[in-house]
A and B are shown apart, each in its own frame.
Chain A
Amino acid sequence: MIGNLAIVLFDGLAFGMLLFVLSVGLSVTLGLMNFVNLAHGAFAMLGGYATVVATRELGLPFLWSLPVAFIVAALVSVAFERTLFRRLYRAGELNQVLFTIGLVFVAAASAAYVFGTAQQPIELPEFLRGVTEFAGFRFGSYRIFLIVVALVITGLLVLGLEYTRFGAQVRAAVDNQRAAQGLGIDVDSVFAMTFALGSGLAGLGGALAIEMVGLDPSFGFHYLVYMMIVVSVGGLGSIAGSFVAASLLGVADVAGKYFVPELGAFMIYLVMVVILFMRPQGLIGKR
């Protein structure tokens, strides 16, 4: 029983870390820039397919395909931001939702057209396969890798946003756009870079997700739901909130499926409803 609990906690945490990498960019663009970007899931899917192409067609090792996934998703997202999304910043939430959910449909259809509707397999390097034994427990090597990557990303994000001048400019631009411009901050560029960073992380998340949950053209829709739950439970614009919420939801999901199989996949929604009842602004949300 104790052993099962440890494994469930570990697997839940690993799933939570995956949710975190997928969602944290959405938390930033939604919370900081007030832009409802439902296409975030599509950028995650794009990163996944970028990794598939990079490893299978170009023969890149899996680890090298991860930065490729980040860069492809970041670049494509910034192209969309410059040409399309920025026109919607003042357009109201409904317009943003309609436009970006439309993009998810387009992305799903495009992915099905190019790659087909089947799950995309991926080749992992030797050291990420199998299990690692520790204190008598057998932990999935890939899950350990996932947790380490997510912790590194969290550290870099917090450092970057809290302790660099660029981070201070992002926060300033969010606090008061007009004052930031009047003091010489190029708010458009700052937002574009922030947006690219968030989407790049989604792309990285999409690449990391393939081994754990698979990749097919419905990924953008399927995981959008999880992303929205993480962001709303964690609180808009809070990196720490997304981290806590993703961990909690990951563990709840795995534990629910393991211990209460009758509830199955419903557990994650139950946790969301309970938390939002108690804290409508999310765990660490500012508003």
Chain B
Amino acid sequence: MADALLQLENVRAGYGEAVVLDGVSLTVPQGGSLAVLGRNGVGKTTLLLTIMGFVDLMQGSVSFRGQDISRLAPHRRARAGLGWVPQERDIFASLTVEENLTATARAGRWNLDGVYSLFPRLRERRSNMGNQLSGGEQQMLAIARTLMTNPSILILDEPLEGLAPIIVEELIAKIGAMASEEGMALVLVEQHAEVALGLTEQAIVIERGVVAHAARSADLLNDQATLDRYVGLNLVEN
């Protein structure tokens, strides 16, 4: 595909002897968005870590803007424009909120003013240390910190996990606005299938290390049988 932004071909990856992903292919076009669904432990986080270069790639390739980045160090992938927001948020505890935002910032559309108007609460907490934030604030900071690197694709790993419903709604709205208004490409790993499908154009379901199902998000949202089969209770629960 000519206009592919991020492309994985036949990726086999894992930790040492343990193969977690075995033959995963996917494509995210410029400005496109992809939901990655699946039960716990099927390799969704490993997939994102493989894209970022933290996991041993045993076979296949990862390319970004048409360049093969399979052998590139993680920090070079980040600088190339991959905007990863880790699952554990990984806020730097000994940095203030503002230092968390500026320490890794790169010039571009997003700056301090931009992320502060996106998440006004961060402006109020700007001098707090990274370890003095609530879970919701940490997630906002994690997203804002990645935006400050001005990535061309945002890679979110379960951004709504463990957050209060009201924060979840706020974040959903902001992530949705970013994808539709800013034209930011998006890869979203999420347990809440309904939310993830509502925010994205395309979706894949991972099962035992392979892509078990791929569909347009809108179609999958109406395909209750497939969702039940691969994703389980999450749709009903929410």
Report if A171-B54 is in contact (Cβ < 8 Å); known contacts: A179-B86, A182-B84, A184-B79.
no
**Interface presence of B75 (CB below 8 A):** yes
Q: Which one of B102, B146, B149 lies within 8 Å of A165 (CB-CB)?
A: B102
Contacts of A178 in B (CB 8 A): 54, 74, 86, 90
Verify A175–B54 contact, CB threshold 8 A: no
Verify A182–B74 contact, CB threshold 8 A: yes
**Interface presence of A185 (CB below 8 A):** yes
Q: Mark B75-117, 1 if CB is under 8 A from A, else 0.
A: 1001100001010001011110001101110100000000000
Contacts of A171 in B (CB 8 A): 92, 94-95, 99, 103
**Interface presence of A128 (CB below 8 A):** no
Report if A181-B95 is in contact (Cβ < 8 Å); known contacts: A168-B102, A169-B103, A172-B103.
no
**Interface presence of A176 (CB below 8 A):** yes
**Interface presence of A180 (CB below 8 A):** yes
Interface size grouping (class) on chain A: 10 to 19
Report if A172-B104 is in contact (Cβ < 8 Å); known contacts: A179-B90, A179-B92.
yes
Q: Which one of A168, A172, A174, A183 lies within 8 Å of B78 (CB-CB)?
A: A183
Contacts of A144 in B (CB 8 A): none
Report if A175-B93 is in contact (Cβ < 8 Å); known contacts: A183-B104, A184-B106.
yes
CA distance A183 to B93 in the complex (A): 15
Question: Which A-chain residue is minimally distant from B93 (CB atoms)?
Answer: A175
Verify A184–B78 contact, CB threshold 8 A: yes
Min CB–CB distance A4 → chain B (angstroms): 43
CA distance A184 to B234 in the complex (A): 34
Q: Mark A163-200, 1 if CB is under 8 A from B, else 0.
A: 00100110110111011111111110000000000000
Min CB–CB distance B59 → chain A (angstroms): 23
Report if A185-B75 is in contact (Cβ < 8 Å); known contacts: A165-B103, A169-B104, A172-B104.
yes
CA distance A168 to B153 in the complex (A): 25
Verify B73–A183 contact, CB threshold 8 A: no
Not counting A183-B78, A183-B145, A184-B104, a sample of 7 additional A-B residue pairs whose C-beta atoms are within 8 angstroms of each other reads A168-B99, A171-B103, A175-B93, A178-B90, A181-B54, A183-B146, A185-B75
What are 15 of the A-B contact pairs (CB < 8 Å)?
A168-B95, A171-B95, A172-B100, A172-B103, A174-B94, A178-B74, A178-B86, A180-B92, A181-B73, A181-B74, A182-B74, A182-B86, A183-B78, A183-B149, A184-B106
